[in-house]
Structure 1
């Protein structure tokens, strides 16, 4: 089986497909740095750096599976999807590139990943109707990456599209959860004292709450909501990794943010996966990526159900 990867980013979808035994032959993204990283990790695929709404699908090789993770920022509640915001309107429109590519190539399958709010997009019914007009039956499902061996709770929408009369009946078996302690290295990173001049009082309160709940070692986000109020036990998966440094590690009287390598492990990428040298680029790409183990299990279940 051969696949192409639209909006490939750092390559989470491609990596998951490879884990499922699928050969990724072509990948594209609009960010040159992401294309460069994808090419280093998937040298067997052809690569294109372009706005995919302007792509010439005649230049894309034949494939059995179309993988796509269109821009999610215009849908995500984390980014505020206000109507009338031109940037968000433009990001939502990237989903139409999936329809355009499917119309030209008509692969047997397509797998689309996005945030769950994608289904509440005003044009989601029209998007589904367009895929239906091309002969695709859709199976949408919400998948938590933690249920597929990724040490991170990350709920995402996966839509399996099959050229069939009826939607595929896909059964996803849940795997045992992997704790955050599996990848945190207390000998790595740049530690700082918790008690230092300028430390925000709210941060100190969260540290104290985390100590009461979890002892001397735990993780906490640098935000006030959710786990930010109590910290998070190391014996459970991490919360969602974002495109900016979010999760801090507390060890007694010292603290630091997760390293890029720890974020890579939290996303379920192999330890050998090449990351950008610049920390902010690495975290941004990882926070935007598809978790490879979740993609692997969805693709494997799709092929089994077909």
Structure 2
């Protein structure tokens, strides 16, 4: 059974994606509220709550096949303050990486490393942050490459994320896992541009991972909407009217078209600040989409980042906040997953996580084939 460490574990979504065939040796998260959810949903005493910077190599048992790290994205996000890897939150990558290097000094380096972050990590500080991460991997003896995977291929949520996948240079890499160059779906122009800014050493350690075509998604957002939502209440007619008043003519036209669709229509709304007031000043706007896909879940910092849904059945128009269970479903968590009772805590847990089926896709496509090839080579050598 392959084993793993789960850093910045949150509620354990990477663990959920890897599945029961993987053995978690150790998990860590700084946030006690997220850690409480992790503890409730996963058996065992692998979880260590606290700052990753306080961990030492003796805290990490055995030798893991994989170290997964969905390190904080706030300082790398386009919506953040731009502090990058020097920021208080995203800068926690370095204490994590210090542990990985120390494991290597003990001949316990994880065979595989996966780093997950936002798309904006490619361009943070003009690409220097991405280059620094790549240089760290190359310097520690890893071959690596990056892919952009949008959860929308698996779930009705637009959620593109960067995944950097590294394998120790001592491991064989099956030819079927390597592409001759960037392949459109997984290696968009922004990634190719970021690769072009890497040092020669980093480019020399680079692998263009060749992933299979994404599956055809079977669900739409309306399939995930609760008929009897828990943790939220429907807006009053006055509140829904106020929400409609925040829409510009383009978005109001979408609502009118939905009324005439002849079927139940479910849209998702984010409130945004736009420079389209009467005199060009900034004004809050409600923007709706009816493409059967939810907008990207975010952590609830301020009311504007909570996603609202609008259900339209003919002339009947209702609205409310996205429920905690709906947010969890948008991340691929099963309904058996126990969520925090507090709305913000549940929404934060989901919005700050990694999409479960994306993890499983990467495990199927890259991680498990790499480990299988390594095991086969070790058996021959024995």
The TM-score normalised by the length of structure 2 is 0.72
Structure 2, gaps ≥5 residues long: 104-108, 171-204, 275-284, 371-382
User: Counterpart of 1:193?
Assistant: 236
Cα 1:171/1:243, change in 2 over 3 Å: same
State how far apart, in whole Å, the 2-side matches of 1:140 and 1:259 are. 33
Contact 1:219 1:232 in 2 (8 A): yes
SS at match of 1:110: strand
Alignment of 1:157-172 (within 5 A): 157-164=162-169, 167=207, 169-172=209-212
Q: Is 1:142 matched up with 2:157?
A: no
Deviations 1:206-225 (A, max 9, x none): 77333224336322323247
User: Counterpart of 2:213?
Assistant: 173
User: Counterpart of 1:100?
Assistant: 98
Shift of residue 200, structure 1, vs aligned partner: 5.4
Shift of residue 301, structure 1, vs aligned partner: 1.3
Shift of residue 201, structure 1, vs aligned partner: 6.4
SS at match of 1:223: strand
Deviations 1:172-217 (A, max 9, x none): 4312222101111233241123434992564355773332243363
State how far apart, in whole Å, the 2-side matches of 1:127 and 1:136 are. 12
State how far apart, in whole Å, the 1-side matches of 2:166 and 2:270 are. 38
State how far apart, in whole Å, the 2-side matches of 1:202 and 1:243 are. 25
Residue of 200, 220, 231 corresponding to 2:288: 231
Greater relative contact order (Cα < 8 A, sep 6+): 1
Cα 1:30/1:250, change in 2 over 3 Å: same
Shift of residue 50, structure 1, vs aligned partner: 1.2
Contact 2:146 2:208 in 1 (8 A): no
Aligned length: 299
Deviations 1:267-304 (A, max 9, x none): 11111011111111010111000111101111221234
Where do 4+ consecutive residues of structure 1 move more than 6 Å?
Answer: none
CA RMSD of aligned residues (A): 2.6
Contact 2:270 2:288 in 1 (8 A): no
State how far apart, in whole Å, the 1-side matches of 2:122 and 2:51 are. 23
The TM-score normalised by the length of structure 1 is 0.88
User: Counterpart of 1:9?
Assistant: 10
Q: Which has the larger radius of gyration?
A: 2
Shift of residue 150, structure 1, vs aligned partner: 1.8
